[in-house]
Amino acid sequence: MRQRSGIFRCFYCDQALSRAKKTHDHLQPKSRNGSNKPHNIVNACRQCNCLKGQLTLQEFRVVMAYRHGLVGEPEFKFPGEVRRQQNESR
């Protein structure tokens, strides 16, 4: 994980991180039975760490794919959206 000259890279966006800037992120969130073992911990920039939050790697992959324009808008609608659309069409 360690790169030349003490520069680290964000696991998720590959941004170069100084020692001061890097944060540790759990691939499988601790709140969701993730372990504290080294294989579950990666270097991440603050932005990715914050964005990933309590998501699993699989869930975060969908978020990032969407942000990179690699996937279209999913069919799924939140219940509130469905209700709002029903109200508007009345």
Query: Using CB under 5 A as the criterion, which residues of the chain lie in contact with Zn ion when the complex forms?
Result: 10, 12-13, 15, 45, 48
Secondary structure class of 16 (helix, strand, coil): strand
Give ∠ CA 41-47-52 in degrees, rounded to 5: 55
Shortest spacing between CB 60 and Zn ion, in angstroms: 11
Shortest spacing between CB 76 and Zn ion, in angstroms: 26
In this complex, which beta carbon is closest to Zn ion, that of residue 15 or of residue 56?
Answer: 15
In this complex, which beta carbon is closest to Zn ion, that of residue 1 or of residue 74?
Answer: 1
In this complex, which beta carbon is closest to Zn ion, that of residue 13 or of residue 27?
Answer: 13
Secondary structure class of 28 (helix, strand, coil): coil
Which residue type is seen at 54? Q
Cα(75)–Cα(11) distance, rounded to whole angstroms?
29
Would you say 8 and 43 are in contact if contact means Cβ atoms under 8 Å apart? Answer: yes
